[in-house]
Structure 1
Amino acid sequence: MARWRACAVMHVDMDMFYVGVELLASPHLRGRPVVVAAAGNRSVVLSASYEARAYGVRSGMPLARARAMCPRAVLLEPHRGAYDAYSRRVMEMFWEITDRVEQISVDEAFLDVGGAVRRLGPPVRIARRLRARVQGELGLTASVGIGVNKTVAKIASTRSKPDGLLLVQPEDTVAFLAELPVSALWGVGARTAEALVGAGLRTVGDLAAAPLPQLTRLVGQAAGLHLHELAHGRDPRPVVPVREEKSVGAEETFPEDVTDGQVLHDTLLRLSHRTASRLRRQGLRSRRVGLKLRYADFTTISRSRTLAHPFTSAHDLLEHGAGLLAEIGDRPQAVRLIGIRAERLEHATDALQLSLDGREEEWSAAEEAMDRVHARFGADRLGPARLLPSAPRDRAGNSEPVDSRVRGAKPPPDGLSW
């Protein structure tokens, strides 16, 4: 039993998660190259099936480049709500196994199952049951790595993909790591890898054999000691339970670079409502607003503002997001992407100190009513008037009365946002 507790850290990583969720609704596309991304050549790839990855397609790649590499790929629009729903179900399965779950993204987490061994059996048995349950109940697959610490477990899950399970025994840890390239270690980026390879240290085994003074000369004192420890299979970081989201947000890449401030403001309005709706749906409030702006040359800037009172309304999110945009001042070039985030989250069930005017109550109540309308009739039936299609104009340029049918029209389609 003690032996299993010494090798009880699991890293669970869902296989091509976004593609997997989309294929649940389109099973006829299984086995074909599939790319999940919003339409438009300015979009980037959110996820790709293994068949598409065989052509070199990767997440984060511009969609235009992905299409050039794999013209036969089927493009599927992303559905963020579905991803959030399946992520919550997967994470709940993890929490039923152990109370030591460290979620690090929407589709992966570390689990320390040392305390569950007596109840559920050895880690390998736990992992097999978990993978079977995920596939049986959700129709998705997961790869699992098991090791003595987080570094080993993470690398093991990567090596077991797709749809695999790999256990690295404590006595095999150093030998397992030794054959890997130095870039496999946590914290080794492109520049660090280049410096190490340039010094003849190509594998983790080379790092383990290198004197510590040599490593510190190459990458610095802290990084050298860090790599020395990892190369010998030592990683003291514990699995820290995290189940709350750290932030909620949305962003949009424009089909063409934007200089019009009103377009930026209207986009912030739409993204603010999308973000605030997620806050309320998850029972959260926010105390900080973050703004992200990316220019045409891909230069990216971010700004944030901490508020005196927590909020859940799009009105407050937009007010402070627009304020951050105004503080940036004159923009040196056109804008490629804009995004907004609600940060410093807390549970909405926690005690709330209201401001004297009670304005946050009024806006939250109004938007909660809008949530109920959306749930019953669809998200296109009610929304900000500014996002309705522009009214037609007469020859003098005056607005004509808006037909009641126009009021029910759908807002402009969203671009890339996640």
Structure 2
Amino acid sequence: MPTAPRAIIHVDMDAFYASVEQLDDPSLRGRPVIVAGLGRRGVVSTASYEARRYGVRSAMPTAEARRLCPDGAYVVPRHTRYQEVSAVVFDVFGEVTPQIEGLSLDEAFLDVTASLKLFASVEAIGRRVKEAIRERTGLNASVGMATNKLLAKLASELSKPDGFLRIDRHEIRGYLDPLPVGKMWTIGKVAEEALHRVGIRTIGELVRADNWRLEKALGERHARQILALARGDDERPVVTDAAEMSIGSEWTFDIDLLELPIAEAWMLRQCERVGARARARGLDARTVSVKLREPPFVTHSRQAKLPVAGNGTPEIYAVARRLLRTWWEQHPRPRLRLLGVSLSGFDTVEMPQQDMFAAPVEKKKTDGVQDRINEKFGAGALTRAGVLKTRSSE
């Protein structure tokens, strides 16, 4: 017997960070809101739809956004608040299926194939998700539905904002063919330009192109993959409980750092952040990586293993600080415009680490107290004394 088609839903919150800010501050509603770093080297995280009319986009330098939209409301990101709202959204997902693949705080794929036995249709499930998110958060979600991930994501994107669209198999060509090839998943700027050079600008033209042109532009293997997607074929499963690959935090400085003690203070601040996030997720890391960028854009990466897998801030900082000092001593005139720390190689925490070399209990208690206070009163409410050097240079 033929396998029944899958029912996949893609949910993407509309301008998530900016929408949360407008929800919490009614004076921002209807105004162009830009959530961004506000320093000289800040970058836009999210722009409301009102701001997008001015050409403001995510990943754009804040300085450029200010030129395009000088009267916009510029807001510093509040990640703790966004995580709170995200938890409510993901609770809604869990009410219709356990098959959830989270892509970010505000985006996920749901495989609701098995849930069709309980609900009338994939549209009924999608409508339930959309309305529940609206009722519990006050925010709009765009919902796309199809038989695979590619088409479900396309459906949510095409129907934004406040979207709701299902793409059936017989409708694939009508939706895909007119789109620019750059809209296709896996086609980046380089591949897009290569396709343009051989006269292929739309997905419809790609599907109808001869193999010689496609392979000339993309190479044989990539051409086969892209052609399958262009035809609407996508067998990727919804991957539930995908292991988090890394947890990172970084900071770009308005004025280059020239002193090692100040750089160490900033390193400690980033270690506090990633340590808290790892503890909140119940994850022990094995590897600490540091990211160091010299002006203008020369980036160095260094990494080392923790003696014992863990998530304690002192242990993370000890490794990160050693990597920073080694790099600093290797450069005759060290200066930094960006500094970051990330954790990877995670194990799920099942019981307290029983190891004679593990951090003393007092240090782990300190982390726990700090986490609880910052969770209650906001990030940065309680911090180590060594971090105070960074306050004057924010």
Q: TM-score range by the shorter chain?
A: over 0.9
Of the structure 1 ranges 319-328 and 365-374, higher mean CA displacement relative to structure 2 is found in: 365-374
Report matched runs for 1:229-378 at 5 Å.
229-242=228-241, 245-329=244-328, 330-331=330-331, 334-348=335-349, 350-374=350-374
Q: What letter is aligned with 2:247? A: V
Distance in 1, Cα, partners of 2:58 & 2:78: 16
SS of aligned partner of 2:386: helix
Shift of 1:33: 0.6
Distance in 1, Cα, partners of 2:94 & 2:300: 36
TM-score by length of 2: 0.92
Of the structure 1 ranges 259-268 and 271-280, higher mean CA displacement relative to structure 2 is found in: 271-280
SS of aligned partner of 2:186: coil
Residue 383 of structure 2 corresponds to 383
SS of aligned partner of 1:275: helix
Residue 183 of structure 1 corresponds to 182
Report matched runs for 1:74-113 at 5 Å.
74-113=73-112
Report matched runs for 1:102-141 at 5 Å.
102-141=101-140
Residue 406 of structure 1 corresponds to none
Distance in 1, Cα, partners of 2:136 & 2:73: 26
Q: What letter is aligned with 1:139? A: G
Say whether the 8 Å CA contact 1:208–1:231 is kept in structure 2.
yes
Distance in 2, Cα, partners of 1:383 & 1:319: 17
Shift of 1:343: 1.9
Q: Tell me: CA distance 1:414–1:367, structure 2 relative to 1, closer, same or farther (3 Å).
A: farther
Which of 373, 391, 394 is matched with 1:412 structurally? 391
Deviations 1:141-180 (A, max 9, x none): 1111112211111111111110111111011113321111
Say whether the 8 Å CA contact 2:23–2:29 is kept in structure 1.
no
Flag structure 1 segments of 5+ consecutive residues without an equivalent: 390-410
Matched, 1:46 2:25: no
Q: What letter is aligned with 1:278? A: R
Q: Tell me: CA distance 1:82–1:199, structure 2 relative to 1, closer, same or farther (3 Å).
A: same
Q: Tell me: CA distance 1:377–1:140, structure 2 relative to 1, closer, same or farther (3 Å).
A: closer
SS of aligned partner of 1:157: helix
Say whether the 8 Å CA contact 1:7–1:146 is kept in structure 2.
no
Q: Tell me: CA distance 1:261–1:211, structure 2 relative to 1, closer, same or farther (3 Å).
A: same
Shift of 1:102: 1.0
Say whether the 8 Å CA contact 1:178–1:204 is kept in structure 2.
yes
Distance in 1, Cα, partners of 2:320 & 2:358: 21
SS of aligned partner of 2:345: strand
Distance in 2, Cα, partners of 1:23 & 1:97: 28
Say whether the 8 Å CA contact 1:292–1:303 is kept in structure 2.
yes
Shift of 1:336: 1.3
Q: What letter is aligned with 1:266? A: A
SS of aligned partner of 1:18: helix
Say whether the 8 Å CA contact 1:174–1:231 is kept in structure 2.
no
Flag structure 2 segments of 5+ consecutive residues without an equivalent: none
SS of aligned partner of 1:290: strand
Distance in 1, Cα, partners of 2:64 & 2:74: 13
Deviations 1:301-325 (A, max 9, x none): 3232233422121101111111222
Q: Tell me: CA distance 1:140–1:83, structure 2 relative to 1, closer, same or farther (3 Å).
A: same
Distance in 2, Cα, partners of 1:230 & 1:293: 38
Shift of 1:381: 6.3
Q: Tell me: CA distance 1:62–1:124, structure 2 relative to 1, closer, same or farther (3 Å).
A: same
Shift of 1:362: 3.7
Distance in 2, Cα, partners of 1:108 & 1:377: 27
Q: What letter is aligned with 1:383? A: T
Deviations 1:288-347 (A, max 9, x none): 212122222223232322334221211011111112223435346631111111222333
Residue 65 of structure 1 corresponds to 64
Of the structure 1 ranges 132-141 and 282-291, higher mean CA displacement relative to structure 2 is found in: 282-291
Residue 159 of structure 1 corresponds to 158
Q: Tell me: CA distance 1:333–1:75, structure 2 relative to 1, closer, same or farther (3 Å).
A: same
Distance in 1, Cα, partners of 2:74 & 2:29: 13
Deviations 1:110-131 (A, max 9, x none): 1111110111221111111111
Q: Tell me: CA distance 1:73–1:112, structure 2 relative to 1, closer, same or farther (3 Å).
A: same
Shift of 1:380: 6.0
Deviations 1:69-89 (A, max 9, x none): 111101112111011121222
Deviations 1:48-82 (A, max 9, x none): 11111111111111111100011110111211101
Shift of 1:192: 0.9
Q: Tell me: CA distance 1:333–1:220, structure 2 relative to 1, closer, same or farther (3 Å).
A: farther
Say whether the 8 Å CA contact 1:312–1:364 is kept in structure 2.
no
TM-score by length of 1: 0.87
Distance in 2, Cα, partners of 1:195 & 1:101: 35
Q: What letter is aligned with 1:84? A: Q
Q: Tell me: CA distance 1:381–1:231, structure 2 relative to 1, closer, same or farther (3 Å).
A: closer
Distance in 2, Cα, partners of 1:197 & 1:379: 47
Query: Could you say which structure has the larger radius of gyration?
Result: 1
Q: Tell me: CA distance 1:333–1:182, structure 2 relative to 1, closer, same or farther (3 Å).
A: farther
